[in-house]
Structure 1
Amino acid sequence: MTFKNDLKEAQEIEYQLMTNIIGSGYTCTSTQSCGNFPDYDLIVTPKDKPQFTIELKYDKKASTTGNIAIEVGKLDYDGNEVVSGLSVTSSDYYVYYFNSEWWMINTNKLKDKLSKINPIIVHGGDYSKTILNLVPMGVFKKWARRF
C-alpha cells in the first residue's frame, strides 16, 4: 500500500464514522474539511451537551495480530525519539476501527490504562519510525466501549 492509498482508506473510514454520528442526531465536522489538522480528527456537537473531539484510528492489522497498536512516539530524522500520537493529542476520545467494529475510549482513560500495564513496544509505520504500544485486543475491549 502507498501513502496515497492509505490516506484514501482512512478518509473513507472517517466518512463512515461521521455518517454514523450524524445519523445519531449529532453534528459532526472533519478537521480536514476545515483545512487544518489539529490534534484530533472530528468535532462532534450533541444537541444539548458540550461538543467533544475524536481522534480516529484504523488498525488494519488488529485482526491478524490480535493487538491494538497505539502510537506514542516517533523517530525524527536524526533518530531521536519524539512524542506523537496519544502522547500529544488534545482529543477527548479515541475511536478505533478494527474487525468492522467501532470502539471508543476517553483519551485520558486510555493514557491511564496504558501507564498501568507493560505493553509490548514495537516500531512500525513508514520506515519503521513510529513507536507503538501493543495492547491485546481483549484487554482494549475491556477498557473501551463498542458503538
Structure 2
Amino acid sequence: MLRHVLTLVLDWTAQGVPIATDVPQMRQFIRWAQYLGGFLRHHGVDGFLGNADAGRGLDEDHAEWYAFLSTWRQIHSEEPVTAQQLRAGAEPEYGAPDVWKGTFPSTVTGKPLSAKARRKRLAGQVDRWRGDLVLRSDTDKHTKIKVYSVEHRADSS
C-alpha cells in the first residue's frame, strides 16, 4: 500500500504540486487543506471539505467568536484598538443598551475577563478565520502596545 501512496505522491509532485485554493478557511490548517485538496483533486477526487460549512454550524465556539467579531466590526470597523480600549467600550452606560448584544467574551459566570485572560483569549484567536472574519494583531509603532482589528474577506463563499 505504501508503494501505491508514494506513486500517487510522485505523480502529484511531477505535476508541480497543484494546490486547491477554493477550500474553506480552516484556522491554522489552511495550508494543509490547500495541499491535501490539491492532491485529491489532481487524482480525480473532488469535493474535499465540501461539507465544512455544515459542520461549522455545530461548532459553538466558532459561532460565539463569529458573533463577537461581527459585532466588533460593526462597532470599530477595521480600526485597530488595544485590549484595554476594547474592554472599556464594552461597559454599557447605565440605562443604555448593550452595544455588544451579549457577544463580548466573559467568564463562565458572566463576569468580565481579567486583563490577562482577555489578552490570552484574543491572542489565541489571532489569524483564525471565523467564516469571513479574522482577528488580526499588530504592535503600535509609537506606544509599543498590541492592537487588534477585525478583517473581513469579501470573497468568502
- TM-score category, normalised to shorter length: under 0.3
Q: How does the TM-score come out when normalised to structure 2? A: 0.23
Q: How does the TM-score come out when normalised to structure 1? A: 0.24
- Structure ranking higher in helix proportion: 2
Larger radius of gyration: 2
